[in-house]
Structure 1
């Protein structure tokens, strides 16, 4: 029997945001801006296409899917979801 409570809806609406930066560091005095409006799957793919050294400047926002998906995904969380998506 499959435990459906831990499934992730990769077709859920999601948004990829980028933080303004200076010297490859987040500008905490500025708000992040949206660069992709699509699905969680699309946002993960776009995020993973970014250079590894700049990924800390991005985050994905989506509707929370407990316990695996919070409403704001950190770069580390996106990488783990990308691995899960590939596994599935």
Structure 2
């Protein structure tokens, strides 16, 4: 069970970009493209994401190079939250 996490290494120093989706009434606008908010390391983007109010985090995503099996190219808000927990655990 816990073996996958223990054996999987996540490079939190990898280049990543935090994106935000335009919104209307706190909902993503599917007819608009997301835009870059900040660029830096995966660690810095996770920190910037976690500083956003919880009620607006669903409007953000992080894009980075995939690091299977834990990191995908586009990280959803739920995935970013899980990586933040993993980062704190490590």
List aligned pairs for 1:9-88, cutoff 5 A.
Answer: 9-88=11-90
SS in 2 for 1:29: coil
Report the number of matched residues. Answer: 87
**Runs of 5+ consecutive residues of structure 1 not aligned to the other structure:** none
TM-score, structure 2 normalization: 0.92
Q: Deviations over 1:23-67 (max 9, x none)?
A: 000000000000111000000000000000000000000000000
Structure 1 runs (4+) deviating above 4 angstroms are: none
TM-score, structure 1 normalization: 0.94
Instruction: Give the RMSD, CA atoms, in angstroms.
Output: 1.6
SS in 1 for 2:61: strand
**Runs of 5+ consecutive residues of structure 2 not aligned to the other structure:** none
